[in-house]
């Protein structure tokens, strides 16, 4: 854990968050600045600063598996959902702790952003 990281502080219970799911490897919280009616963040408990810092490729399986499980559990599959990972400031990463955005509840444009 990184004491300067807002996600680490949330995962440690120092800061409040609305948890949708959590286990020993990952937690899912509601985004405080939602970009869709459903906007969740899938966050590994291990502090990894960004996607390009992932050393164990099995982490992607955990993150994506959790995202799809939560999407099913919340009934998002029928209407569809988007999964997004931003890597670096210029790509829109504002918190430097790896996380996956899970968005649903509106129509999305392509290309994004």
User: What's residue 3's pLDDT?
Assistant: 73
Q: Which CATH number applies to 6-104? A: 3.30.428.10
- pLDDT tens digit string along 26-84? 999 999 999 999 999 999 999 999 999 999 999 999 999 999 999 999 999 999 999 99
The phi and psi torsions of 72 (rounded to 5 degrees) equal: -65, -50
Q: Using an 8 Å Cβ cutoff, are 60 and 99 in contact?
A: no
Q: How far apart, in whole angstroms, are the C-alpha atoms of residue 12 and residue 45?
A: 9
Give pLDDT tens digits for 8-20: 999 999 999 999 9
Q: What is the dihedral of CA 47, 33, 88, 99, to 10 degrees?
A: 40
φ, ψ at 26 (rounded to 5°): -150, 155
pTM for the model stands at 0.95
Catalytic residue among 39, 96, 99, 101: 99
Q: What is the mean pLDDT of residues 93-107?
A: 97
Would you state the structure tokens that stand for residue 43, as one six-digit string?
């966050």
Evaluate whether 37 touches 105 at the Cβ level (below 8 Å). Answer: yes
> Measured between alpha carbons, how far is 109 from 52 in angstroms, rounded to an integer?
26
Bridge partners of residue 21, in order along the sequence: 28
Q: What is the pLDDT of residue 94?
A: 95
Instruction: Determine the pLDDT at residue 1.
Output: 67
Judge whether 97 counts as a catalytic residue. no
């Amino acid at each position: 854990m990184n004491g300067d990281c807002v996600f680490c502080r949330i995962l440690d219970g120092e800061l409040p968050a609305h948890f949708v799911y959590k286990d020993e490897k990952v937690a899912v919280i509601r985004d405080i600045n939602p970009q869709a009616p459903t906007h969740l963040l899938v966050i590994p408990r291990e502090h990894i600063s960004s996607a390009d810092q992932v050393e164990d490729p099995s982490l992607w399986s955990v993150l994506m598996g959790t995202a799809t499980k939560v999407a099913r559990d919340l009934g998002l599959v029928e209407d569809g959902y988007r999964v997004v990972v931003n890597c670096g400031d210029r790509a829109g990463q504002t918190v430097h702790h790896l996380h996956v955005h899970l968005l649903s509840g509106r129509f999305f444009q392509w290309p994004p952003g």
